Amino acid sequence: MENIEPDLAVCLIHNPARPEGLFPFLDALLAGADPVALEIIVVASQPEHPALARLERAFPEITILENSGADQSARARNHACRLARARYLSFWDEGLRPSPGSIATLLRFLEENPEAGLVSPRIVDPEGMVQPSARTAPSLATILCLHTPLGRLLLAAPIILRQHLMLEQNHLQSFEAQWLLDTCLVIRREVVEDIGLPDEGFFAHYADADYCLRARRAGWHLHYLAEAVVIQSEPESSLAQGLSSFGGTARLLGDCTRLLLKKWLRPAQMPG
């Protein structure tokens, strides 16, 4: 039988701190994915974890990869992407629940708009309130306001953060963005062939902001697609959030510094 090329690779990280976290996500994903052909790749740092055996029994269509770097989200996702065969790649947070038709809507938009390299859906909480997933590109001012006591004391901090979070933007309508969070992000394979994979030099923060910057510099457009709706049924459970205190300030400072240097310097001057 001829192998069918998948439409979308869903790249996931197994978080041993939430051993059953992927089950409800995969239930919702597979229930609403039709007619999109999926390949599902799970990266695990503890392949012997009992939850993974249960996951394989419940979802025999998934592929589970061992990766000692699965506690570093960019490295783990890249490991999955390198083995993916699909025409489009995607990253997801396990706390999300794709609505029926949302995945097909995202892929249809990319197929109809060849200049669009990355797209993300509208994320809402169970009450339907929008959880903004598109931001302006991080600047030194926004990083200071987000991560330092001094920045939060600035008189302009509320304005800076509102602009950064795009709170004045109507998130019930689609628009072009500067930064799409990798909480839920779909990437055209040609983008990866053009600019490579996310920079593994980031430990837990801003790999997605850097990747969006690189894509925009290469001429790709980024789109927030309000017509595709995904429900965030739980508080954000991404590994990056869980690791925000792991290694503490030093790793956060390293990620912020790397982002700003890559933004300010010519791309050829820094790896990744």
| HEC secondary structure over the chain | CCCCCCCEEEEEECCCCCCCCHHHHHHHHHHHCCCCCEEEEEEECCCCCHHHHHHHHHCCCEEEEECCCCCCHHHHHHHHHHHCCCCEEEEECCCEEECCCHHHHHHHHHHHCCCEEEEEEEEECCCCCECCCEECCCCHHHHHHHHCHHHHCCCCHHHHHHHHCCCCCCCCCCEECCEECCCEEEEEHHHHHHHCCCCCCCCCCCHHHHHHHHHHHCCCEEEEEEEEEEEECCCCCCHHHHCCCCCHHHHHHHHHHHHHHHHHCCHHHCCC
pTM score, whole prediction:
0.90
**Single-letter code of the amino acid located at 86:** A
Per-residue pLDDT tens listing for the chain (272 residues): 356 789 999 999 988 888 889 999 999 999 988 899 999 999 998 888 899 999 999 999 899 999 877 678 899 999 999 999 999 999 999 999 999 999 999 999 999 999 999 999 999 999 999 998 999 999 999 999 999 998 888 999 999 999 999 999 999 999 999 999 999 999 999 999 999 999 999 988 999 999 999 999 999 999 999 999 999 987 655 444 433 444 468 888 999 999 999 998 865 444 44
Report domain extents, the chain: 8-269
Tens digits of residue pLDDT in 135-153: 999 999 999 999 999 888 8
Q: What fold does the segment set 8-269 form as a domain?
A: Spore Coat Polysaccharide Biosynthesis Protein SpsA; Chain A (3.90.550)
